[in-house]
Amino acid sequence: MILVNGFVMIENNFIKTLVRSLNPLAYGGLSSQTLKGLVQYFLLLLVISGALAVLISILRIVSIPSSIDSYLGSFSSLELTVNYTMEKPILIPEKRPLVSINLASNVPDKAFIMLNQTMLTYKWLFFKHSYSTNAFSEPLQYSSEIKGLLIFLGILILPLMLVAIFIYLILKFSLMIILLGIITFIVMKIIKNKFTLLKLVKIGIIAATPMIIIDTLNIGWNFNLFFIPQIIFIAVYVMGIGFHEEGW
């Protein structure tokens, strides 16, 4: 019960901060929160935004089959030749391998992904599926296998993609917030304003909300936004500083 109440409290605080962060007039009150509380809000916002970006990516992965049909339809004939000589299998890792590449044999093994002379096989939870290696040399005749393989590879990298996106976003936005806070702090010192660096960093975290939402969701859509999210961030940040004495 205590955990449920704590989760509801965090959720309510997150939603309130998210809504108020879109109004620079509220930055005076929001920046009075503790740095720990705002960092928690920042990280939770990144997790939710990153998850939505991955969800959008999944929707794009689902559209792969129609795209493959369109691309392969541009060819009247297509055959690829692959020459290789392999002396021993490749096992990744060597002990209890997840991936096995053994082009010198057709003997199956217990790896998660297995490639031999004739078949590419993968096991996903309780499912197992195989593709003929002829799909690589005759893609027009094996278009369904290629589509299934690409969808599988797309789903396979999603967990790694989520972790990579989260780390990337933390580094990117943290550096932007801290750098802008330091630059603003120096300017404030020159004009003899009493803003502290901590206060400016807090305002930066709050003002970054629109940029994080736009920039993160665009990872899935990949629109060319140029520097629009960053311009919005700086504009909201400057307005937040100007209105810091106001509150909701």
* pLDDT tens digit sequence for 128-175: 666 666 666 666 666 666 666 677 777 777 777 778 878 888 898 999
Enumerate the β-bridge partners of residue 90.
101
Do residues 90 and 113 touch, judged by C-beta distance below 8 A? no
Question: Which pLDDT does position 200 carry in this prediction?
Answer: 92
pTM higher than 0.85: no
Question: Which pLDDT does position 51 carry in this prediction?
Answer: 82
- Exposed / middle / buried, residue 210 (Cβ in 10 Å: 0-12, 13-18, 19+): middle
Question: Which pLDDT does position 209 carry in this prediction?
Answer: 92
Structure-token pair, residue 69: 């049909």
Those residues with Cβ within 8 angstroms of residue 244's Cβ, 6 or more apart along the chain or in another chain: 27, 28, 31, 195, 199, 203
Do residues 134 and 142 touch, judged by C-beta distance below 8 A? yes
Angle at 144 between CA 89 and CA 154, to 5 degrees: 65
* pLDDT tens digit sequence for 96-112: 666 777 766 655 566 66
Q: What average pLDDT does the segment 212-216 reach?
A: 85
Assign 204 a pLDDT band (cuts: 50, 70, 90): very high
| E strand residue ranges, the chain | 90-92, 99-102, 113-116, 119-124, 127-132
CA distance 205 to 47: 15
Q: What is the mean pLDDT of the chain?
A: 76
Please give the residue that has the higher pLDDT: either 50 or 18. 18
Give me the residue label for tokens 């660096």.
Answer: 197
Assign 179 a pLDDT band (cuts: 50, 70, 90): very high
CA distance 173 to 211: 9
